[in-house]
Amino acid sequence: MRARDVLAAFPPITSDTPAIEAARLLCEHKAPGLIVVDENGRPYGVLPAIHVLRLAVPGYCQEDPTLARVIDEPHADHFLDPLEGRTVAEALRHVSRDLPVADSEATVLEVAALMARTGSPLVAVVSEGRLIGAVTLQTLLDRVIPQ
């Protein structure tokens, strides 16, 4: 089985995409992350969903999760509000530059090894340098685990 056999269409984003739009896309596609492309449609980065969350959650709550308890429920329900006016570029600052990109001809073992090495649950799949989709950890496991 090759990467092209297990890939799914993924909406690419750019570093200028609003962070709140990235959060919406993550929800809409139930995605573990998003692929960031440059102006030529080539993968530039993979933005794991957790990094969008890190951009929204106040730093003091990340440092000490017990401090999140002091925020009342009505305000806590709006913790994504800080994403307004911010871009994907800001979330990418903390993402590894080890880009998880595989050629469409890569075997599923090559894709799995790339995921394991980079710690990314999402691998961008390219053909002739252009993004054609992605392989998620869930899709990969679904295809290789005997039923």
pLDDT top residue among 134 and 41 = 134
**What local confidence, expressed as pLDDT, does residue 135 receive?**
95
Cα dihedral angle (70, 75, 80, 84), rounded to 10 degrees?
A: -120
> Which helix (H) or strand (E) element contains residue 26?
helix 19-29
Let me know if 68 is exposed, middle or buried by CB neighbors in 10 A (0-12, 13-18, 19+): middle
Residues written for the chain: 147
Reported confidence tier of residue 15, pLDDT bands at 50, 70, 90: very high
**What local confidence, expressed as pLDDT, does residue 25 receive?**
93
**What local confidence, expressed as pLDDT, does residue 3 receive?**
93
| Token digits of residue 53 | 């969350």
**What local confidence, expressed as pLDDT, does residue 140 receive?**
93
What are the tens digits of pLDDT across the range 67-115? 888 888 887 777 788 788 889 998 888 776 778 999 999 999 999 999 9
DSSP string, 101-147: EEETT-BHHHHHHHHHHHT-SEEEEEETTEEEEEEEHHHHHHHHS--
CATH architecture of the domain with range 3-144: Roll (3.10)
Alpha helices for 78-136 (secondary structure H): 88-92, 108-118
